[in-house]
Amino acid sequence: MERTPFISAANVSERLAQPPALAISTVIFALRPSESSGRPTLWLPLVRRIREPFEGMWALPGGPLTQSQSLQDAAATNLADTTGLTPNYLEQLYAFGGLHRSPSQRVVSIVYWAMVQPTEAALARESDNVRWFRADGLAELAFDHNQIVDYALWRLRNKMAYGSIAYHLLGETFTLAQVREVYEAVLNRTLDPANFRRQLKQTAHIEATDEYLQGGAHRPPRLYRYTGDPAAENSGAPPSSL
């Protein structure tokens, strides 16, 4: 909104005061094999703070909102700057605006969350100031970013049920076992392969290809392709022009 319905003295004086700073941050999820088990698990890239407050600590990639960028554009820019990747999925998570999130000035952060397929080049981008971490069991982060990541994980797990999100962590074609592994990585529990297959065929929009994934010491699984319409993808978010 652009004005108060009832003009009061407080409103007028506040309008002249400095407004809170406005920043955009992005929680970027990708699937990587765990070092220990080798199974796919959720990872996210963080950047190291190079100035106070919280100098030296890890934080979500982000920056101030510029006049010329829409919110989603700003989030996509964060993502490209940090990982060099373009997102398969990008959606607004929440606007955090507590009074004491940053020790110095009042900052309102509009946070997006994204899902990407990491390329070799993107993973090799790691440096002293950019590093990938497992999404669960993170160390202490700068600001309230631990709580933001936890909330993003919660939202991700809830959205899984609706479908379609899992495919944004996978490539063009995939086996049903790979889809199941995505679900298992996000939901953090094992799923019955047979029942999972049946459920996918009922609800999800996938089609079988004629190809099979060769190379394993077992029966080769069929490859599938996602056929969900892109319109329904961002179901849950208003048009990005707003």
Tokens of 172: 């063009």
83 binds, options DNA, a copy of itself, none, Cβ within 5 to 8 A by partner type:
none
Identify the CA nearest to 133 among candidates 63, 196, 57: 57
1 interacts with, out of DNA, a copy of itself, none, CB within 5 to 8 A per kind: a copy of itself
Residue 137 C-beta: closest distance to a copy of itself, Å: 19
Q: Which residues bind to a copy of itself, rule: CB under 8 A?
A: 1-6, 10-11, 14-15, 17-25, 47, 49-51, 53, 59-68, 70-71, 78, 81-82, 92, 94-99, 101-102, 106-110, 129-130, 143-144, 147-148, 151, 158, 236-239, 241-242
Q: Which option in a copy of itself, DNA, none does residue 237 bind, with CB closer than 5 to 8 A by kind? A: a copy of itself
- 192-208 burial by CB neighbour count: b if 16+ within 10 A, else e? eeeebeeebeeebebee
Residue 112: CB atoms within 10 A of its CB come to 25
The answer to whether 103 touches 63, Cβ cutoff 8 Å, is no
**Cβ within 8 Å of residue 2, ≥6 positions away:** none
Nearer to DNA, 33 or 220 (CB): 220
Residues in the chain: 242
Using the minimum distance from each CB to DNA, give the nearer residue, 51 or 219: 219
Q: Which of the listed partners (DNA, a copy of itself, none) does 130 bind, with a CB threshold of 5 to 8 Å by partner kind?
A: a copy of itself
The count of other CB atoms within 10 Å of the CB of residue 55 is 10
Residue ranges in contact with DNA by CB under 7 A: 175-177, 192-195, 197-199, 202, 212, 214, 216-222
Rounded distance, CA 227 to CA 50, Å?
44
Structure letter (DSSP) for residue 81: H
Nearer to a copy of itself, 144 or 184 (CB): 144
Residue 222 interacts, among a copy of itself, DNA, none and using kind-specific CB cut-offs from 5 to 8 Å, with DNA
For residue 7, the cross-strand partners are none
